[in-house]
Structure 1
Amino acid sequence: MFKKIACIRIGGGQVTRAAAEEAPVAVFVNGRHLTTVALSPGGFEDFITGYLYTEEIIRNAGEIESVRIEENRISVLTKNIFKRVSVKKTILSGCGGAVSYIDTQKLPAIDSDLTVSVPEIEAAVAALRAPGMLDAVALATGGRIVACAEDLDRHNALDRVIGRGLREALDFSRTFAVGTGTVTSEMVRKCLVANIPVLVSTGPPTALAVEIAEETGLCIVGYAGTPEMAVYTHAGRIAE
């Protein structure tokens, strides 16, 4: 995932630094181009399984007939090869595209009675890979991490662990997600689709992420692993 790059240090002298690799990957579903994403190399099958699921193109891993991974291309055939697909977006345009708004009625709501303790959160954060050049996201049960991934983008990392969970038949309603960086509305949407009831991050959530989570039953915990850790939505899911 990293390669050595030569550069000139300010103040003089040539040095070699590690740089994260980035691969533009075209995604084709049933012979049609769906999107192109920038990914860290490797682990594409977990990513595409999670991505198609959180975009609501498939409902489970069994709907994928085959996956062919080539350099800079992922080709997927679904069981229904005639199904036309498109990418979901949290932000919806108003009349004429002049207004943007969130229609939470079009988003799934969390259906889980899971509660997570503060020690479980602390254990999962401690087990998460330290933030570096890549974002990390994991799924945990109790304080134990059951799936973990790193990527250039935390949204892609979340798709990767959801894909791993689908392939291993995890019950997402009994897990919580823990990751690095800012929690965005798109991360909230992905957790809602997967029915992951708690989203924990070492960073803060955006105001929009909080608004959507509050209306859909998702618990957000921000600044985890620091003295500033706080529950932003649905505090009843967190036990001392």
Structure 2
Amino acid sequence: MFRELPCIKAEGESFTQDVHPVIEEMPLAVSVNGRHALTAMTSPVMLREFVIGFLYTERIIKDIEEIESIRFEENTASVLTTNPFKILTSQKTVLSGCGGSMSFLDVEKLPEIDSDLTIDADSIRESVKEALHSELHVKTGGIHVVGLYGKDGRVAVVEDIGRHNALDRVIGYALEKDIDLSETYVICSGRISSEMVRKCLVANIPAIISRGATTTLAIDIAKARGLTIIGFVRGKKMNIYSGGQRVADMSSGDAGYLEAKMEEEKEI
């Protein structure tokens, strides 16, 4: 996933020729039923899982059984589905950065979370610590990490230049392994955006957790559709922005009272 490339390193007034590990990025053109659907800038790993997860979170397929075949050739992926008329209405380039949504957000059309999952605070801290320990990030400084966890611990941890791509990958992995996503939660290294929230809602993943920040739109959508957002998980600290009832250490009464108080203060 990286190559050693030459560079000139500067330290103070000293300049020396050296090499440094640089993360790989590649374009992947995907066609669905003979029509170009998207071009994604992504890391060159787990491409099958990425394609499956992307098609699922964009609602091009409802389940993995709708995929008849995926064929890879160099930088292209050709997908055939059981419904040959199911194609995207527009072509899209999905960049490796923080954008990349195919969908316009209409909160009322997004599914509500259907899950009875609860997670204790210690498990949240331990899973964040485990998932986000990335030797590749330490080496290159240019990678995002997304982990999928359940009651029994780690399901899959994926690294990619874009966190949205990494989320699609773990979802695709879970679909192939027939894992019940309603009993899982997501750990991510970067900001929790509205697009990350949308993907979790479509996949019925009840919680998304980060050591970083989130956005106001992500929180608003999460509250409206029953998703738990937890940010700034560092050491013993964390911020629970929505869905506090899924944190086992809090009683449902406490979670409801505190979130109601948050809403009151927001309106003042």
Q: What's the TM-score once normalised by structure 2's chain length? A: 0.82
Larger Rg: 2
Quote the residue 1:169 is aligned against: 178
Aligned partners of 1:223 and 1:86: how far apart in 2? Answer: 38
Name the Cα RMSD after superposition: 1.5
Aligned length: 230
2:41 is the counterpart of 1:32: no
Aligned partners of 2:120 and 2:103: how far apart in 1? Answer: 30
Quote the residue 2:150 is aligned against: 141
| 1:28-57 CA distance string (max 9 Å, x none) | 100101111111002111101100000000
Query: Which stretches in structure 2 are left out of the alignment for 5+ residues?
Result: 91-100, 250-268
The aligned runs of 1:33-182 (5 Å cut-off) are 33-86=36-89, 89-91=102-104, 102-131=105-134, 132=137, 133-142=142-151, 144-182=153-191
- Compare the two structures and name the one with the higher helix fraction: 2
Are 1:57 and 1:85, in contact at CA under 8 Å, matched by a contact in 2? yes
Aligned mate of 2:213, from 204, 218, 221: 204
Aligned partners of 2:189 and 2:20: how far apart in 1? Answer: 23
Q: Secondary structure at the match of 1:81?
A: coil
CA shift for structure 1 position 81 = 1.8
Aligned partners of 1:89 and 1:35: how far apart in 2? Answer: 9
- Summarize the Cα distance change of 1:147–1:86 in structure 2 as closer, same or farther, 3 Å threshold: farther
Are 1:116 and 1:237, in contact at CA under 8 Å, matched by a contact in 2? yes
Aligned partners of 1:219 and 1:2: how far apart in 2? Answer: 34
Q: Secondary structure at the match of 1:42?
A: coil
Aligned partners of 1:9 and 1:212: how far apart in 2? Answer: 45
Query: Which stretches in structure 1 are left out of the alignment for 5+ residues?
Result: 92-101
Identity of aligned residues (%): 44
Aligned mate of 2:16, from 8, 13, 17: 13
More deviation, 180-189/10-19:
10-19
Are 2:219 and 2:242, in contact at CA under 8 Å, matched by a contact in 1? yes
Matching residue's letter, 1:156? N
Quote the residue 1:214 is aligned against: 223
Aligned partners of 1:165 and 1:23: how far apart in 2? Answer: 24
Are 2:58 and 2:103, in contact at CA under 8 Å, matched by a contact in 1? no
| 1:141-183 CA distance string (max 9 Å, x none) | 1261111211000000000000000000111111111111100
Quote the residue 2:252 is aligned against: none
Q: Secondary structure at the match of 2:15?
A: coil
| 1:44-100 CA distance string (max 9 Å, x none) | 111011000000000111110000112111110001223232477454xxxxxxxxx
Quote the residue 2:254 is aligned against: none
